[in-house]
């Protein structure tokens, strides 16, 4: 049986999603350990999009192949009992063998949250980015609009990114303010390594008037990572969800109230 599951996690204490060498705490390692206990056999979890160290997820989607017969409720509750408190299974649904958490995805969307006030966060430490300079969201939106559509995003990916093709399509990119929070929401067919955090870094520089909105396009056209700004902190980044074909209707993530 193939099962799709939704996973929520606080990435602050993890070295990213992907399993690494022994002794390194990863989300995948914890998820597979808990699922294997419920299944009573080794389980491999395939995710929709790997996240980096410190990045959170509101609804990461994974799929597993299992031989054990359990109810969907048992997969959820049994796995959560064996999971650390900073990871939780939100839902579980049986899917056909053609479903693949990564390759069936039509798009992914992320949320980047910036606490924009003069005082650093205490309650939300490691859960938001922070910038003390007043950010102008209209300037940020004007810069973000240059990134809409299909482009070569070499300037917005990490130097060590291993993707063979730097071309991606951004379907929407919006910036809004909720009291002291500036929120960037972005959806694309797929993302490059550090792509969202590098976009956030450029938009923050534009928002505080260090750069003009047109700079976002200048960076894009350069096709050179060194032309861009700093990489924004991982603490503000949330993997928000995945878009799949209509045949696969999964529960949508409930956004937390900041």
Binding residues: 110
Q: Would you call 52 a catalytic residue per the annotation? A: yes
Residue 92 Cα distances to 2, 19, 75, angstroms: 10, 22, 7
Residue list, annotated binding site for substrate: 110
**Angstrom distance (rounded) from CA 236 to CA 233:** 6
Take residue 14 and report the two structure tokens written for it. Answer: 């993890």
**Angstrom distance (rounded) from CA 199 to CA 3:** 34
For residue 79, the Cα-to-chain-centroid distance in whole angstroms is: 22
**Angstrom distance (rounded) from CA 253 to CA 96:** 22
Residue 82 Cα distances to 18, 90, 203, angstroms: 19, 14, 40
**Angstrom distance (rounded) from CA 35 to CA 80:** 9
Geometric angle at alpha carbon 166, from 8 and 4, rounded to 5° = 30
Q: Give all strands (DSSP E) within 99-166, no chain letters.
A: 107-115, 129-130, 149-152
Using the structure block, give the residue that is written with the tokens 């399509």. Answer: 169
- Give me the catalytic one of 52, 131, 136, 145: 52
Residues labelled as active-site residues: 52
């Amino acid at each position: 049986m193939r099962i799709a599951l939704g996973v929520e996690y606080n990435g602050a204490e993890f070295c990213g999603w992907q399993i690494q060498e022994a002794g390194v705490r990863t989300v995948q390692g914890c998820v597979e350990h808990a699922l294997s206990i419920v299944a009573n056999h080794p389980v491999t979890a395939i995710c929709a999009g790997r996240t980096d160290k410190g990045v959170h997820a509101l609804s990461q989607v994974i799929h597993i192949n299992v031989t054990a017969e359990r109810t969907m409720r048992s997969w959820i509750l049994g796995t959560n009992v064996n999971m650390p408190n900073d990871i939780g299974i939100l839902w579980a649904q049986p899917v056909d063998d053609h479903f693949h958490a990564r390759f069936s995805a039509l798009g992914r969307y992320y949320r980047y949250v910036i606490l924009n006030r003069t005082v650093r966060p205490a309650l939300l430490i490691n859960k938001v980015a922070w910038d003390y300079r007043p950010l102008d969201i209209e300037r940020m939106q004007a810069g973000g609009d240059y990134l809409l559509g299909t482009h070569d995003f070499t300037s917005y990916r990490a130097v060590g990114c291993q993707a063979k093709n730097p071309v991606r399509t951004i379907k929407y990119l919006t910036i809004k303010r909720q009291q002291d929070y500036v929120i960037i929401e972005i959806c694309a067919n797929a993302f490059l390594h550090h792509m969202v955090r590098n976009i956030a870094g450029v938009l923050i520089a534009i928002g505080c008037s260090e750069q003009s909105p047109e700079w976002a396009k200048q960076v894009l056209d350069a096709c050179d990572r060194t032309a861009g700004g700093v990489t924004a902190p991982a603490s503000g980044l949330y993997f928000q969800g995945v878009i799949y074909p209509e045949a696969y209707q999964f529960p949508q993530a409930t956004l937390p109230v900041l």
